[in-house]
Structure 1
Amino acid sequence: MSHETLSEFVEATATKFGIPGVAVGVWADGQEIYACHGVTSVDNPLPVDRETLYELGSITKTYTATALMRLVAEGRIELDAPVRRYVPELTLADERAAAEVTVLNLLNHTAGLGWGVIVDTGEGDDALAGYVAKMAELELIAPPGARASYSQAGYNLAGRVIEEVTGLTYERAVASLVLEPLGLSHSFFTPGDVMTRRFAVGHNPGEDGTPSVARLWKRWRGNNPGGGLMSSVADQIRWARFHLGDGRAESGERVLPAEALHRMKQRTVELRGSTLGDAFGICWFLRGVDGVRTVGHGGSANGQFAELLTVPERDFAVVSLSNAGPDGIPFNQAVVRWALEHYLGVVDRDPEPLPYDPARARELVGRYETDAMTLTIGTDGAGLTLGAGIKPEIRAASDSELPPDYPPAAMGLLPGDGDEYIITEGGLKGQRGFFTRAGSAVVGIDLAGRTANRVASG
């Protein structure tokens, strides 16, 4: 497959979705192929290239998990040990949960923690310790080990484990354990490192619908382990190649035992009806697509979106970075699917929803909430819709711009028990999830691996 063909697809798709600047990389047949299009910012435009820095969002979690696994391989951390062995000050809303939650529970999202604590604990070296101190206020959704639910807080706590064990700040520890040995020279946590290099800014729709620069460029330091890394598409392809390999850096240095990398890609907990995948490994999302096993992770920031997918048995990887919402997600999905089909002959299609059922719709319509978000399920009598928005009190308390809400978009229920769904239009198109029940009553909804509890019906 020629470089020009990938470039043509990327340019056409970015234009279709109105994305100012995108960077795509593919590792296939032992070659790196890149396609970059557009600009870093509509206000201060520079051409995007393979070294342009983007916010990775939650792909950062794969770095946190890998750094921690290196400490496991060195015998400094045990996955099945309670977190309090390393972070004795941990306090949660439930004392039993605080005493029982393990390191592995953090890495595979089975700690029973809510999504996260929305708090700025400053930019000092105590930022992460301050975040963990606030976790006593965090909603708990299940006992440790009972179920999977995606948690930002869990990974920020994992970052604090790394700090306590190494005696270093999280950022310095990840640099010494992972970034430097692998030669990832365009991957940074601090704005001071980023601002002297070419970097993308996020965009959201302005009043006239055209992309407008998102002024909250990066969240606070206490959120770094769960989503704070900035990196280039070239570094992300290098990162993917490491995880496809035997644990050695390109220099030949042994960074992880091969069996540790292999273990990260093995199922630890099943997922139901999730866009994220069929299961979690250690951090990685695992999903079967058209007869092949994929391993990947996505990420989002304010108007920036990232996707990394590998196919280990085919020594293949694709990375897609985009700098506009809400259509950065469908852009990345389109690129990943095109690459799978054109390089591997693997076809990834969304499942077809069932016809609209008014009686089932009446069961589901209502408002569902997490600590920060409200999901609204509605119907016009002909179909279901899902809207997602940040709670007004969260917006009011924020001292900076937050991403816009997702307006109601069509969704449909999927074959099976009828509680799984797929969103069929809008910026969340293709996202899958499921409704949860207590007996016969619908009490919650899962979207993108996160649980929202029902607060009102009808």
Structure 2
Amino acid sequence: MTRQELQDLIAELANEFGVPGVAAGLWYRGDVSYVCHGVTSIENPLPIEEHTLFQAGSIGKTLTATALVLLEAQGLVALDAPVRRYVPELNLSDVTAGDQVTLKHLLNHTAGWEGDFFPDTGEGDNALAGFVDRLNELEQLTPPGTVFSYNNAAFCLAGRVIEKVTGETYESAIRRLILEPLGLHESFFFRDDVMTRRFAVGHKTTDGDALEVARPWGLPRNGAAAGGIVTSVSDLLAWARFHLRGARDDVEAQYLPDNPRLQAMYRPTLHMPGCAFGDAFGIGWFLTKVGNAWLVSHGGSTHGQEANLAFLPEHDWALVLLTNSSPGGMSFNEAATKRVLAACTGIVEPSVQTVSAAPSELAEYAGEYRARSMRCLVSVDESGEFVFAVSNELELNALMSENSEVPQSEPTVLRALLVREHADRYVFASGPLSGTTGYFERGQNNRVRALHLFGRWLSLVDA
């Protein structure tokens, strides 16, 4: 794919999905291309350029995971050790889980407690300590190490582990361990650093499908370890290339003397076929089977911004996409990744095949599924399609609004079908999330007990 072909593709997809601004970076077999399109904000439009800063969201979790792998190489932590070895004050609602949870459970989303917890514990250096003090408010849904469920709170706790073993703030430790050694000089955590540079603001769609600026812009400081990084496309592609070198093992990873530790991050620690984000999870990274290889990736969603980073070691290929629109940016990232991957490597990901079923056959899946920040009512219509009515709970709505009183939002209605030859899996059949997959989970009695939605484990009410 030439740079002009990439430029044309980005412009085409930005127009299709209503994305005001995009920065893309492509590495393929030694060649690098940066492509930018659009503006930073519809209210104060400045051209997107290579050094424009975007919120990378949960891609920052790969920094947290890599920092702990680095600290393990230095003998300061052990990923299989209990978290309480490093944070003895950890107090969870489930005492047994508090004794059992390890660092690896934090880094592969199997800690088992409710993961979307966003209290604001201030902007001081004690923000993460204050966050950890409130973890006992979270319900333990599954025993540690047993079920994948995307867990922001676990990564915040991982950030606190970094603070405890280094004696530094999380942000300072990440800068010393990763950003400075790798020359990532356009990556920041604090708004005062971002606001003196050109940066993108998020956008969301209104009820009339028009775009508006998403407010507030930033997240509380305690979310830094889970997704507070703000960076440029050039820095993020350099981060991908660092990991790509470690995965290929043909160039020494200068700042990780024990290179096999880096490679281990891209090996499955658990499998979750049918998950929205990948078929398996390593340490800090999603893994998707493409042919006979693992595509390594992580996305990032903040308020009105969507990012994605992916690399394929066997083909010496990496792609970074930064957008300032949600949910359009999510659809943009998925489409762009597939088309660039196919153009460069010839790998075409097959479309998910669906199967129709009689409404009576789907009745066992119907019901109310709930987690701390999300509620989903699943019903079945006369055509044999699932109807998902998904709503964020008030705590998450309040975080994403500047208003002190936030009404319950109207649910988003999504339609889904069963996936052919895969019992209990579904795929969204239309709309901006078309092609996104998930699955239902059964208990020991073989009855449906939970819904896996957008990577989250939602329990069936009264199951």
Do they superpose with TM above 0.5? yes
Q: TM-score, normalization: structure 2?
A: 0.94
Q: Is the CA contact (8 Å cut-off) linking 2:107 and 2:283 kept in structure 1?
A: yes
Q: How far does the alpha carbon of each residue in 1:98-145 deviate from its partner, in whole angstroms, 9 at most, with x for none?
A: 011111111111221221322110100000001111100112111111
| In the alignment, structure 1 residue 427 sits paired with structure 2 residue 432 | yes
* Residues 39-438 of structure 1 aligned to structure 2 (within 5 Å): 39-246=39-246, 253-382=254-383, 383-392=385-394, 394-395=396-397, 400=402, 407-438=412-443
Which stretches in structure 2 are left out of the alignment for 5+ residues? none
Give the one of 441, 454, 461 matched to 1:448: 454
After TM superposition, give the deviation of residue 448 of structure 1 in Å. Answer: 2.5
After TM superposition, give the deviation of residue 393 of structure 1 in Å. Answer: 6.0
Q: Is the CA contact (8 Å cut-off) linking 2:23 and 2:233 kept in structure 1?
A: yes
User: 1: distance between equivalents of 2:379 and 2:202?
Assistant: 30
Per the alignment, in what secondary structure is the counterpart of residue 61 of structure 2? helix
Instruction: Tell me which amino acid in the other structure corresponds to 1:412.
Output: L
Identity rate of aligned residues, in percent?
42
Per the alignment, in what secondary structure is the counterpart of residue 272 of structure 1? coil
Q: Is the CA contact (8 Å cut-off) linking 2:73 and 2:256 kept in structure 1?
A: no
After TM superposition, give the deviation of residue 206 of structure 1 in Å. Answer: 2.5
User: 1: distance between equivalents of 2:159 and 2:398?
Assistant: 29
Deviates further, 76-85 or 409-418? 409-418
Q: Is the CA contact (8 Å cut-off) linking 1:275 and 1:430 kept in structure 2?
A: no
Which stretches in structure 1 are left out of the alignment for 5+ residues? none
Q: How far does the alpha carbon of each residue in 1:303-354 deviate from its partner, in whole angstroms, 9 at most, with x for none?
A: 1111111001111101111111121111000110011100010101331111
User: 2: distance between equivalents of 1:447 and 1:263?
Assistant: 27
Q: How far does the alpha carbon of each residue in 1:142-185 deviate from its partner, in whole angstroms, 9 at most, with x for none?
A: 11112222211111100000000000000000000001100111
- Quick one: structure 1 residues 108 and 17, their matched pair in 2 at CA, closer, same or farther if it must change by over 3 Å? same
Q: Is the CA contact (8 Å cut-off) linking 2:91 and 2:136 kept in structure 1?
A: yes
After TM superposition, give the deviation of residue 246 of structure 1 in Å. Answer: 3.8
Per the alignment, in what secondary structure is the counterpart of residue 120 of structure 1? coil
User: 2: distance between equivalents of 1:445 and 1:310?
Assistant: 29
User: 2: distance between equivalents of 1:127 and 1:256?
Assistant: 32
Q: Is the CA contact (8 Å cut-off) linking 1:26 and 1:318 kept in structure 2?
A: yes
Per the alignment, in what secondary structure is the counterpart of residue 279 of structure 2? strand
- Quick one: structure 1 residues 151 and 376, their matched pair in 2 at CA, closer, same or farther if it must change by over 3 Å? same
Q: Is the CA contact (8 Å cut-off) linking 2:84 and 2:90 kept in structure 1?
A: yes
After TM superposition, give the deviation of residue 456 of structure 1 in Å. Answer: 6.8
Deviates further, 28-37 or 409-418? 409-418
Q: Is the CA contact (8 Å cut-off) linking 2:26 and 2:319 kept in structure 1?
A: yes
Per the alignment, in what secondary structure is the counterpart of residue 429 of structure 1? coil
Q: How far does the alpha carbon of each residue in 1:259-306 deviate from its partner, in whole angstroms, 9 at most, with x for none?
A: 121111111111131122221111111111133321111110011111
Instruction: Tell me which amino acid in the other structure corresponds to 2:172.
Output: R
| In the alignment, structure 1 residue 30 sits paired with structure 2 residue 30 | yes
- Quick one: structure 1 residues 168 and 397, their matched pair in 2 at CA, closer, same or farther if it must change by over 3 Å? closer
Q: Is the CA contact (8 Å cut-off) linking 1:24 and 1:35 kept in structure 2?
A: yes
Q: How far does the alpha carbon of each residue in 1:239-264 deviate from its partner, in whole angstroms, 9 at most, with x for none?
A: 0000011499x998434532121111
Instruction: Tell me which amino acid in the other structure corresponds to 1:165.
Output: V
Equivalent position of 2:5 in the other structure: 5
User: 2: distance between equivalents of 1:327 and 1:404?
Assistant: 19
Deviates further, 367-376 or 184-193? 367-376
User: 1: distance between equivalents of 2:395 and 2:292?
Assistant: 45
Q: Is the CA contact (8 Å cut-off) linking 2:93 and 2:137 kept in structure 1?
A: yes
- Quick one: structure 1 residues 369 and 199, their matched pair in 2 at CA, closer, same or farther if it must change by over 3 Å? same
Instruction: Tell me which amino acid in the other structure corresponds to 2:456.
Output: R
CA RMSD in angstroms, aligned pairs only? 2.1
Q: Is the CA contact (8 Å cut-off) linking 2:148 and 2:457 kept in structure 1?
A: no
Instruction: Tell me which amino acid in the other structure corresponds to 1:387.
Output: A
- Quick one: structure 1 residues 286 and 88, their matched pair in 2 at CA, closer, same or farther if it must change by over 3 Å? same
Q: TM-score, normalization: structure 1?
A: 0.95
User: 2: distance between equivalents of 1:397 and 1:238?
Assistant: 31
Deviates further, 283-292 or 29-38? 283-292
After TM superposition, give the deviation of residue 381 of structure 1 in Å. Answer: 1.3
Instruction: Tell me which amino acid in the other structure corresponds to 1:386.
Output: F
Q: Is the CA contact (8 Å cut-off) linking 1:299 and 1:305 kept in structure 2?
A: yes
Q: How far does the alpha carbon of each residue in 1:188-210 deviate from its partner, in whole angstroms, 9 at most, with x for none?
A: 11111100111111111134321
User: 1: distance between equivalents of 2:253 and 2:335?
Assistant: 35
User: 1: distance between equivalents of 2:238 and 2:399?
Assistant: 39
